[in-house]
Structure 1
Amino acid sequence: MIKNKKQYASIIKEVEVLKNNIRDTEEVLKKDDNASLKLQLSTFKKGLRKLSKEIEEFERLTSGELSALEFNSAKDDMNKAIISFRIASQLTQKELAEKMYIQEQQIQRYEQFDYLTAGFERILQLLEVLDVQMTLKKDFKENRESFIIDKNIWEISSEIIRRGQLMEIGQ
């Protein structure tokens, strides 16, 4: 995930390098059908797709055209959501730090680890500063079915282990 304009500029340069590598590799492959070059080309293209998605997401967040931003904890990475909220709020790391009365370096450290090192109270403070409304929801019927499936998987795995057809982790 691109977290600031400096990273964005760096990624744009990386994309240009990848595009050049793809073009050059395709030219060589026209003359020589090399399996390792085909593999390398595939790697370049995969990297280009990944970086292009990151650029697209950053540009969407920084466009100023979003009316709302929503994340679902069942599908989305909530830690990265916090960074997305900051970016979409048009706040730099420095501006966010000032609003929270902490050092910019602390925000940089939090974001380096996707806020996994931030305590619960700090996360709540952060969400308040970013004016993020949070809704907590629990679907009891869905969880019961999930538990049954998990239990069945555990029973099946235990049976396979008992028969010696699957090694347990750590053996």
Structure 2
Amino acid sequence: MVVTLPAYSGLVAKELTTERLTLRPWHLDDAETALGVYGDASIARWLSPAMDTVADLGAMRLVLQHWIGEDERLVPPAGRWAIERRDDGRVIGGAVLLPLPPGGDDLEMGWHLHRDVWGKGYAVEAGQRLARWAFDEGLDEVFAVTRPANDRAGAVARHIGMDWVGETEKYYGLRLQVFRMRPADLEG
């Protein structure tokens, strides 16, 4: 599928909710909690080369400022979201639906959670909500790409309902595992 996204839409990521989560646009005052995810080398190592470990609070604010500006130029369903627990309002990570390089022909789903909330089903819940949003907006497939050694991300992709389709070096110039989801996978 070819996803053509105009350069500017003037929109920001739509707020999405689940039973336990709110996926909402990032705010600059999320920097401290975001640093707990993107400043953690054990998490950020899986995000490279798309993103390196964020060094400090000032750098995290700059990253968030960039993401907020980028969101204004993306056309839905593409976007970046803070993942917030509904019961206590705590930001526990981030989620994305972004065009994959090199040509932006495929839309990637991603999730990045603070280590202290791993294993609670939040990534699966957020991923399923992102997929539903993408399909409701007319997409017929979304992808997730993971490094072959990132067993946790692969397991989450499968729990979301994604199918493993193979490995490629098409994206980011790295050997990556590719998972794909279509609307029927979400309903099945």
TM-score (norm 2): 0.25
More strand by share: 2
Higher relative contact order (CA 8 A, sep 6+): 2
More helix by share: 1
